[in-house]
Structure 1
Amino acid sequence: MSRRTLPRRPPQPLPIPAASLDTRRDTVSGGIVTHLSRRQAIGTAGTLTLTAATLTTGLAATPAAAQHRPRHRPGTGPAPLRRAHAHNDYEHERPLLDALDHGFTSVEADIWLVDGQLLVAHDAVDLDPARTLEALYLDPLLARVRANGGSVHAGHRVPLQLLIDIKTAGDPTYRELSRRLRPYHSILSSATATRVHTRAVTAVISGDRASRLPMTEERTRHAFYDGRLDDLGTAAPASFIPLISSNWNSSFRWLGEGPIPPAERRLLRDIVGRAHAARQRVRFWATPDTPGPARDAIWSELVAADVDHLNTDDLAGLESFLRSGADR
């Protein structure tokens, strides 16, 4: 996904010189894929390989995210906001927890398969061995759901969407992810060929499209697939593709200045209508996210069209917008 500078604690980066990186636009997910040079990394079936010394240094230098504590006591936090999606959530000072404190019900984490570990970062230069998917998301969520009697948001039976954007090769990365999700089965929604069991957290897999095949091969999945507009109206059911995501700029030219063109409004509502008829949710990335009237106009149009997830890096801004009565 596109990147916006956010305040965050300094990472303990892996020693990969920026000059050795080749950054290219990911046309599938809208993100940035940074490719390591052959001298800096050895790619094995889509994984990145680092030295043991580097891993040890990084682990010792960075505190585990699981040690972070929410600012609200159980039962005292804000009511959850069903449309609020935290894009690049891991770049906030307190990944996951800041979004939950603002009432968000969907968070996004980019993952890289590195020496068998799933590290969370936007770019390869930011990889930190202590910032694993388990440490930043899965372990804190497990503890929170247990403390709240089965809910992410205390007192509210609203599932949290954990959108996991795969940055390395989809097939091997998903297979490792699937293995690592299993110990958290008690909090994760799951699916078989005939049934979906909704639990406190629903993992949805985005990013590299090669994750789709190994997902279809599983008899029991603890994750679901993030579809694209060309998945609308296909045979793939909502039990496999519950979410349809798209780059806003691929379908729309309106960026919030002046009224939305009637043809674009009709297109937006047609997309949402088709998805909802198939029991699928809708999310657009790359919508304007600079505070101001244009962003408010975009958000208002998305709410009016019943788009399910509003994408932002500005947690306080979206919370204020939605709690002001915009989402009624």
Structure 2
Amino acid sequence: MALTTRRRALTTLAAGLAGGTALPAYAQASEDRHRPRPLWRAHAHNDYLHPRPLFDALDHRFGSVEADIFLVDGQLLVAHDPVELDPARTLESLYLKPLAARVKANRGSVYRGYRKPLQLLIDIKTEGSATYLELDRRLRRYRHLFTTYAHGRVHPGAVTAVISGDRAARVPMEAQTVRHAFYDGRFLDLLAPAPAPASFIPLISDNWTLNFTWQGVGTFPEVERQKLRGIILAAHSRGQKVRFWATPDLAGPARDAVWSELLAADADYLNTDDLAGLEAFLDAHRQA
């Protein structure tokens, strides 16, 4: 190797290790291949209650995060209950700005090397119509970040926003020919005479305890197992994903049993407040 070429190679490597410049393409590709893959089934319920909202979930490689929002004096504040509202904790500061910065740093994706969108589930806690209209204005500021529906077509983005909570949000959403968010359906939407397409309802969510008596102790009743699989098959046949909330979430055999049944039925998301617990479970089962 010529002396000049050798010096150039060593300089490039040293700079890359020091963080001064980007690694060479071959080194970056190797780094991406060895990075732990995202856990696309993992949903961070009440994500904003963790010490580092969004970032803790991303550090645990979650594919979906949930934020509850309240419309207060024109601001979208993130909290679980009204008594916890803090003007400094806005949807924009906790989620939209950090996601935009991360996607820029990762060359167009939330997880570098993976183009699949992160799901941002936004649960509306105040009147749905007014809150959604304000949310829509905020999302439009970050339109480059989000999966978009425009004139009958879905254009994938780095993040897919799905609107849950107060059902009144559905009216203004359905009236839009261009929107940067989608609607979180319920099981009743699967039974509608003219069900909405996946381009409007990509996700079906419902309360586990209202649909199943089994909480992970003992044998899963066969009739309930078939009900679970029927729900998921019906949603998947329409291109929709499925999530249950209110599943057991205390570490132990009962929770593992419910999660195992959900994986066996091909549920798309497992709901938890225990980030490390679900990460370990999915890694162990290699079902992410």
Instruction: Decide which of 210, 222, 227 is 1:267's aligned counterpart.
Output: 227
Helix, strand or coil at the partner of 1:298: helix
Asked whether 1:159 is paired with 2:117, we answer yes
Q: Contact 1:244 / 1:281 at 8 angstroms: preserved in 2?
A: yes
Helix, strand or coil at the partner of 2:107: coil
Normalized per residue, which structure has more helix? 2
Instruction: Decide which of 165, 168, 171 is 2:129's aligned counterpart.
Output: 171
Structure 1 position 291, deviation (Å):
0.1
Instruction: Decide which of 136, 139, 142 is 1:181's aligned counterpart.
Output: 139
Helix, strand or coil at the partner of 1:122: coil
Aligned pairs for 1:1-328 (under 5 A) are: 78-234=36-192, 235-327=195-287
Structure 1 position 308, deviation (Å):
0.3
The one-character-per-residue Cα deviations of 1:55-85 (angstroms, maximum 9, x if unpaired) are xxxxxxxxxxxxxxxxxxx958531011000
The one-character-per-residue Cα deviations of 1:110-167 (angstroms, maximum 9, x if unpaired) are 0000000000000011100010000000000000000000110111112100000000
Q: Contact 2:69 / 2:77 at 8 angstroms: preserved in 1?
A: yes
Q: Contact 1:300 / 1:326 at 8 angstroms: preserved in 2?
A: no
Q: Normalising by the residue count of structure 1, what TM-score does the alignment of the two structures yield?
A: 0.76
Helix, strand or coil at the partner of 2:180: coil
Structure 1 position 325, deviation (Å):
2.2
Structure 1 position 233, deviation (Å):
4.5
User: For the residues of structure 1 that align with 2:181 and 2:217, how far apart are their CA atoms?
Assistant: 38
Helix, strand or coil at the partner of 1:199: coil
**Structure 1 pair 102–144 and aligned structure 2 pair: CA distance change class (3 A):** same
User: For the residues of structure 2 that align with 1:86 and 1:78, how far apart are their CA atoms?
Assistant: 18
Aligned to 1:64: none
Q: Contact 1:90 / 1:96 at 8 angstroms: preserved in 2?
A: yes
Helix, strand or coil at the partner of 2:172: helix
User: For the residues of structure 2 that align with 1:313 and 1:158, how far apart are their CA atoms?
Assistant: 23
User: For the residues of structure 1 that align with 2:211 and 2:285, how far apart are their CA atoms?
Assistant: 28
**Structure 1 pair 297–326 and aligned structure 2 pair: CA distance change class (3 A):** farther
Helix, strand or coil at the partner of 2:199: coil
Aligned residues: 256
User: What amino acid is aligned across from residue 293 of structure 1 in structure 2?
Assistant: P
Q: Normalising by the residue count of structure 2, what TM-score does the alignment of the two structures yield?
A: 0.87
Helix, strand or coil at the partner of 1:162: strand
Structure 1 position 326, deviation (Å):
4.8
Helix, strand or coil at the partner of 2:86: coil
User: For the residues of structure 2 that align with 1:213 and 1:220, how far apart are their CA atoms?
Assistant: 14
Q: Which moved more, 1:155-164 or 1:259-268?
A: 155-164
User: For the residues of structure 2 that align with 1:174 and 1:293, how far apart are their CA atoms?
Assistant: 40
Helix, strand or coil at the partner of 2:233: helix
Runs of 4 or more consecutive aligned structure 1 residues displaced over 4 Å after TM superposition: 74-77
User: For the residues of structure 1 that align with 2:134 and 2:172, how far apart are their CA atoms?
Assistant: 11
Structure 1 position 247, deviation (Å):
0.1
User: For the residues of structure 1 that align with 2:196 and 2:98, how far apart are their CA atoms?
Assistant: 32
CA-based RMSD of the aligned residues comes to 1.4
The one-character-per-residue Cα deviations of 1:7-57 (angstroms, maximum 9, x if unpaired) are xxxxxxxxxxxxxxxxxxxxxxxxxxxxxxxxxxxxxxxxxxxxxxxxxxx
Q: Contact 1:80 / 1:158 at 8 angstroms: preserved in 2?
A: no
Q: Unaligned stretches of 5+ in structure 1?
A: 1-73
The one-character-per-residue Cα deviations of 1:222-247 (angstroms, maximum 9, x if unpaired) are 00000000001433000000000000
User: For the residues of structure 2 that align with 1:111 and 1:95, how far apart are their CA atoms?
Assistant: 14
User: For the residues of structure 2 that align with 1:193 and 1:305, how far apart are their CA atoms?
Assistant: 34
User: What amino acid is aligned across from residue 170 of structure 2 in structure 1?
Assistant: R
Q: Indicate the structure (1 or 2) with the bigger Cα radius of gyration.
A: 2
Helix, strand or coil at the partner of 2:42: strand
User: What amino acid is aligned across from residue 319 of structure 1 in structure 2?
Assistant: E
Q: Unaligned stretches of 5+ in structure 2?
A: 1-30
